[in-house]
Amino acid sequence: MYQKQIEQLVVLQRVDDEIIILQQELDAAPRELKALEDKLQSLADRKAQVQEKLDILKQQQKKLGVEIDEDDAKIKKSKNKLMMASNTKEYHAMMREMDSLEKLNRIREDESTAVKEELLRQSAAMEALEEEVSGVKEEFDAKKATLDERVGEAEKALEGLNKKRSKACKVVPPPILGRYEFIRSRLENPVIVAVEEGVCCGCNIMIPPQNYIDLQKGQQILSCPNCQRLIYWKEHIPEAAKVK
């Protein structure tokens, strides 16, 4: 009976480990979609910001184009007036006006060049964002398409493991099962471990000689005095001892 209980505790531990993995899969699947949704929203926000910049730059470019054309017309008009100057004073006044117009025109042309360069940068940024959105959207659609299937498979496997767990629990006495559940809720896996050459494989510390002697008798399920894990002598169940 002792050996059967140990075997079932080891089976129970394996099942519980598989249940944790499946539960993590069930929890992770929706989170993966949510993370991709959040990423798509973030990309959409960035695209909106870039589009706003593009719209402003295009308006600036259009405005500057109109102003440059108007300045060109004024400069041309000033040159014509210059040729008709009747005296030196009028000539110099027209020259100053024309110089001022040409200087303003150069400033606007430089600004127009800067706007054009920024338009190219923002257009490239938008293109890169659209490419990234396409990739994320493709990943999102693929995960969403397989989500129901993945969840269904995990739930089916989980149902089978829970049945296997119930079967194992029937063999283990309630007090021992209670100890197992208590330890599992407070310690990292594994909960039940082998003792090899007097050393607990859970905490790697030598157990007291008398405990080791009692363990070898195989009459009751004991706990490691140091880590409190359930223990068994490796020689009683060699195959189970491989699960650590």
Which residues span the domain enclosing 199?
Answer: 174-242
150 and 229 belong to one structural domain: no
- Residues 34-87 have pLDDT tens digits of 899 999 999 999 999 999 999 999 999 999 999 999 888 888 887 777 777 678
Predicted local distance difference test score (pLDDT) of residue 88:
81
Quick check: 243 pLDDT over 60? no
- Residues 116-140 have pLDDT tens digits of 999 999 999 999 999 999 999 999 9
pLDDT band at 31 (very low <50, low <70, confident <90, very high): confident
If one counts the domains in the chain, the total is 2
10 in a domain, yes or no? no
79 in a domain, yes or no? yes
**Cβ–Cβ under 8 Å, residues 208 and 225:** yes
CA angle 201, 202, 203 (to 5 degrees): 100
Domain boundary pick from 170, 203, 225: 170
The CATH number that applies at residue 33 is: 1.10.287.1490
12 in a domain, yes or no? no
Predicted local distance difference test score (pLDDT) of residue 85:
67
Domain boundary pick from 124, 154, 170: 170
Of the listed ranges 104-113, 151-160, 214-223, the one predicted with least confidence = 151-160
3 in a domain, yes or no? no
6 in a domain, yes or no? no
Write the secondary structure of the chain as one string of H (helix), E (strand) and C (coil): CHHHHHHHHHHHHHHHHHHHHHHHHHHHHHHHHHHHHHHHHHHHHHHHHHHHHHHHHHHHHHHHHHHHHHHHHHHHHHHHHHHCCCCHHHHHHHHHHHHHHHHHHHHHHHHHHHHHHHHHHHHHHHHHHHHHHHHHHHHHHHHHHHHHHHHHHHHHHHHHHHHHHHHHHHHCCHHHHHHHHHHHHHCCCCCEEEEECCEECCCCCECCHHHHHHHHHCCCCEECCCCCCEEEECCCCCCHHHCC
156 and 192 belong to one structural domain: no
- 179 Cα distance to chain centroid: 37
Q: What is the mean pLDDT of residues 145-163?
A: 82
132 and 233 belong to one structural domain: no
Domain boundary pick from 120, 151, 170: 170
72 and 116 belong to one structural domain: yes
Quick check: 227 pLDDT over 80? yes
Bond prior to 190 in cis (omega within 30° of 0)? yes
Q: What is the mean pLDDT of residues 193-214?
A: 93
Q: What is the mean pLDDT of residues 186-214?
A: 91
Of the listed ranges 32-36, 88-92, 197-201, the one predicted with least confidence = 88-92
50 and 113 belong to one structural domain: yes
